[in-house]
Amino acid sequence: MGIKSISKRQKLYPKTDAMIDRFSDLSNSLLCHILSFLTTKEAVATSILSRRWKTLWTRVPKLDLDTDDMHLSLDKIGECNEPINISYTDVLSRVLALHIAPFIRSFRLRCNSDCAPFHFDTWTRTAIARNVEELKLLIFYSYGIHMGLPCSIFYCQTLVALELSGGIDLDPPSSFQLPNLKILRLLEIYYCKDSSCFSWLLSGCPVLEDLSFERDGYDCLYHFQISVPTLKCLHIAFRPYRLDLNDYTIEIKAPALEYFKFEGDLGHIVLLEKLDNLFEADVYICSFDESDSLEESQKRCYGDRVFKLLRALTTAKFLLLFPGVTEFLNLVQLDFKLNPSNWHVLQALLLVAPNLEVLVVDKCYYKSKDKLCWMEPPDDPGYLSSNLTSFNFRGFKGLKLEVEFVKYILKEARILKTMTINVSSGELKESVVEKLSKVPRLSRTCLVTVE
Residues 390 and 296: their CA atoms lie apart, in Å, by 32
Q: Do the beta carbons of residue 257 and residue 234 sit within 8 Å?
A: yes
The runs of H, that is alpha helices, within 282-342 are: 296-310
Residues 45 and 60: their CA atoms lie apart, in Å, by 13
How many other β-carbons are positioned within 10 Å of the β-carbon of residue 264?
A: 18
**Could you tell me the residue ranges of all domains in the chain?**
30-174
Global model pTM greater than 0.85: no
Q: What are the angstrom distances between the C-alpha of 103 and each of 5, 58, 425?
A: 51, 11, 60
Burial 150-182 (b: 16+ CB within 10 A, else e): beebbbbebbbbbbbbbbbbbbbeeebebeebb
Identify any residues that bridge with 201 across adjacent strands, giving them in sequence order: none
How many other β-carbons are positioned within 10 Å of the β-carbon of residue 276?
A: 10
Residues 362 and 280: their CA atoms lie apart, in Å, by 20
Question: Would you call 142 exposed, middle or buried from its count of C-beta atoms within 10 A (0-12, 13-18, 19+)?
Answer: exposed
Identify any residues that bridge with 420 across adjacent strands, giving them in sequence order: 392, 449
User: Which residues of the chain, if any, have pLDDT below 70?
Assistant: 1-21, 70-86, 113, 141-144, 217-220, 240-247, 286-307, 310-312, 314, 319-327, 340-342, 344, 348, 364-383
* 343-351 helix and 296-310 helix, angle to the nearest 10 degrees: 40
Residues 322 and 260: their CA atoms lie apart, in Å, by 13
E strands present in 188-266:
190-191, 210-215, 223-227, 233-238, 249-253, 259-264
Integer-rounded Cα Rg, in Å, for the chain is 29
